[in-house]
Amino acid sequence: GDSGTAAAAETRASWIVPACLNELKAAADGKSVLIPPTPLGEMFPADGQVYGIAFTAGGQALGPVDQANYASGLKRMNDQDVRYITKLEGEVLAAKPGSAWEKVQTRILHKDSMSRRRHQSSGFTLIELLVSMAIGTAVLLMAVSVLGRTGDGYDRIGGGVSAEREARAVLSQVSSDLTTARFNKDQVFEKGASGWIKDRIGFLALQPADAQSTEGRIGDLCAVHYYVKDLETEGRIVRCLMRGFRESAETFDAVKGGSIAPLFVPRDRDEPIAFGVVSFEARPRTRDETGNWQDWNVGQSTYPQAIELKLILARRDLSGKLSTAADWDGLGTTGKLLGTPEEASRNRSLETFGSLIRFGNDEVR
């Protein structure tokens, strides 16, 4: 309506039209309390008058609005805030059944009724529930995926740290034995077969008193033996690096007997020092005339100057999947997870460690 620039009311509400039509119909019958009686066929309002009705925000009719209030913008009426103001003008015609008036009025009222029912029914439709469930499921799956990748990352990191800790302990133990080694013609440097290498070494080495028992110690020269063995635990096979240790009393008896070979035969009392061993290489080296390292072969008159070690360990995630000797050899479906020895450095489930360790001194026995 033309309520002026100072008006604080609005005239945008879908239910205002049917409410006003009802008042006009009542005015034609002389029954409206908001609009003066308006005979059929006459124009309204009269000159200088305004047919106006004030409504609350909730749609309640508060009362008629005169020309002055309509022009200035009415804000309150009957101690209530005015939200909508209507201005009515025109001619009231008799409505016949099926006429445009009746159809329009019926259509507006029907639409308003449906709108009110939808407003009052504040629940969710089936489609809304299905869409919400689909979105929730997608978010949950993404969260589970992220958590899974995070858990796998922690497992890989934990497996790598565990393998590195174990490898350091092994290399420290082997280094301690090799640096006090004493050369003997019957010492063992046995190369493993092709594929995943499983070397075997056995030699004499000086050992401290606290490494031997009181009964077995008569000196410091002992025999040490390293080899790979499959151990069964909880119904599955785990490949381990074993350390055999023979005390000085037994070692001296073997030396006096002329052969130390029996000292390097595996025994049940030998202890595992590393688990999940995929490959163990221990190759004796010596320097040539130019100072470069080369292979040392059994039968040479000189002793090996160093032992080159290479240890490959399976991380926990892979080690748990290898349950048979064939698996540890890289055979079968599960064994293929190892790949080939040439690919070991690129396999994220394997850890490779290496070291070049000095072999004893030049004393020959």
Residues 113 and 183 in one domain: no
Question: How much is the pLDDT for 96?
Answer: 56
Secondary structure class of 311 (helix, strand, coil): strand
Domain co-membership, 98 together with 222:
no
Q: Which of 62, 95, 119 is the last residue of a domain?
A: 119
d(CA 177, CA 223): 10
Q: Are residues 306 and 224 in the same domain?
A: yes
Same domain, 344 and 201: yes
Residue 137: inside a domain: no
Tell me the CA distances in angstroms from 19 to 25, 34, 61, 315, 358, one per residue in order: 10, 11, 9, 80, 105
Indicate whether 4 belongs to any domain: no
Instruction: For residue 231, give the H/E element and its range.
Output: strand 221-233
Identify whether 302 is part of a domain: yes
Would residue 316 count as lying in a domain? yes
Does residue 236 belong to any structural domain of this protein? yes
Which residues, 6+ apart, have CB-to-CB distance to 33 below 8 Å?
none
> Are 31 and 92 part of one and the same domain?
yes
The tokens describing 99, both together, are 């006429």
Per the structure, the complete domain to which residue 83 belongs is given by 16-119
pLDDT confidence of residue 124: 76
Asked, for residue 290, whether it belongs to a domain, the answer is yes
DSSP conformation letters of 280-308: EEEEEEEE-TTS-EEE--TT-SSPPSEEE
Among 102, 119, 136, where does a domain finish?
Answer: 119
**Does residue 319 sit in helix, strand or coil?**
helix
86 and 214: one domain? Answer: no
CA 324 – CA 186 distance, rounded (Å): 34
One domain, residues 81 and 180: no
Alpha helices in 89-181 (DSSP H): 100-120, 126-178
Distance CA 155, CA 149 (A): 10
Same domain, 195 and 308: yes
Residue 175 and residue 113 in one domain: no
pLDDT of residue 162: 72
CA 327, CA 334: separation in Å to the nearest integer?
A: 6
Same domain, 264 and 209: yes
Please, what is the Cα angle at 185 between 184 and 188, to 5 degrees?
Answer: 85
Same domain, 268 and 324: yes
Q: What is the pLDDT along the chain (365 residues), one digit of tens a residue?
A: 344 444 445 555 666 777 888 888 888 777 777 878 887 777 777 776 777 888 888 778 888 888 777 777 788 888 888 888 888 888 766 655 555 444 444 344 444 444 444 444 556 788 888 888 999 899 998 888 877 766 555 455 454 557 788 888 888 999 999 999 998 888 999 998 878 999 999 999 999 999 999 999 999 999 999 999 999 988 899 999 999 999 999 999 999 999 999 999 999 999 999 999 999 999 999 998 898 999 998 777 778 999 999 999 998 888 889 999 999 998 878 888 888 888 888 898 899 999 999 998 544 33
b/e map 314-345, b = 16+ CB within 10 Å: bbbebbeebbeeebbbbeeebbebbeebeebe
Rounded-to-integer distance, Cα 120 and Cα 109, Å? 16
| DSSP one-letter code for 96 | P
Query: For the chain, how many structural domains are there in total?
Result: 2
Pairing relation of β-strands 293-295 and 277-287? antiparallel
Using only C-alpha atoms, the chain has a radius of gyration, in whole angstroms, of 49
Enumerate the β-bridge partners of residue 282.
309
Greatest alpha-carbon span in the chain:
142
Please identify, among 119, 141, 173, the residue that sits at the C-terminal boundary of a domain.
Answer: 119
Q: CA quadruple 122, 128, 132, 133: dihedral positive or negative?
A: positive
Residues 42 and 170 in one domain: no
Does residue 84 form part of some domain? Answer: yes
| The pLDDT of residue 163 | 76
155, part of any domain: no
Q: Are 43 and 88 in contact (CB under 8 A)?
A: no
Q: What is the predicted pLDDT for the residue at 256?
A: 93
Q: How many angstroms separate the Cα of 168 from the Cα of each of 61, 164, 165, 272?
A: 89, 6, 5, 15
Q: Could you tell me which residues come within 8 angstroms of residue 134 by beta carbon, excluding any fewer than 6 positions away?
A: none
Q: What is the pLDDT of residue 357?
A: 93
